Amino acid sequence: MDYKELQDQLNYKFKNLELLELALTHKSFSNSNNNERLEYLGDSILNSIISQYLFKRFTNEKEGLLTRMRAYLVKAETLVIKGEEFALGDYIKLSKGTANLSKDRKNSILEDAFEAIIGAIFIDGGWEHVNTVTLNIFNKNLLALSEDMSFKDAKTELQELLQSMKYDLPKYIIEDAGGGMFSCVVAFQGLSFESTGLSKRIAETNVAMKVLAHIKKINE
């Protein structure tokens, strides 16, 4: 596969192209030679780069706000969007049996591949290169950042919104959906909202986002 366009988008040319190929190899394609280790590494490096940036930029802010800022910047939804911007779905090697995966599962694969690429760039080029590439990728997100923004997660935001509207707090009903996935259902005003995730927390967050979107839409 030709990775020239992807490397141009990343603004980084790999010395060892096999690292990029490995970063884009899902475990369903190869159980022994896949991107899981690079994803693990990339996750840690991404958090370190963003932490360092926030520490240097917001010199007077306390640890709590910096932590919420970092979580906001590297949350799963953002990493999926980054993966889509680079069209990683066109490059990821998957087994044929994954053709009918759920949207949540596909998003998780995109997120993991993006983090694996960060890990691959670090191995290939070192800290200076991966730091530059990562900050360029997140440039718009970082420029839009302000201490005045709300960095609450979807569950907290939904809870506070419902309290302000004098509604009962949401009840999250979690079930094992199989295949390593969890489903979560929340009832609101006679409607049922459902979502899935690779963990109970992610499933709850996803369904909270759906309820928030519904409330905001009907109040437009």
Instruction: Tokens for 78, please give them.
Output: 């953002």
Please tell me the distance from the alpha carbon of residue 48 to that of residue 62, in angstroms, as a whole number: 17
Answer yes or no: are the C-beta atoms of 88 and 118 closer than 8 Å: no
Beta strands in the chain (DSSP E): 173-178, 181-188, 191-197
Closest C-alpha to 26, from 101, 82, 92:
92
Catalytic residue among 43, 104, 111, 112: 43
Radius of gyration, alpha carbons of the chain:
19
Q: Return the C-alpha torsion angle 134, 89, 153, 167, nearest 10.
A: 160
Share of the chain residues as helix, strand and coil, in percent rounded to the nearest 5? 60, 10, 30
Instruction: Tokens for 219, please give them.
Output: 């109040």
The reply to whether 147 belongs to the active site is no
The reply to whether 124 belongs to the active site is no
Q: Is 13 helix (H, G, I), strand (E, B) or coil?
A: coil
Please tell me the distance from the alpha carbon of residue 169 to that of residue 186, in angstroms, as a whole number: 10
Instruction: Tokens for 68, please give them.
Output: 């919420």
Catalytic residue among 111, 115, 124, 204: 115
Max Cα separation, the chain?
58
Catalytic residue positions? 43, 115
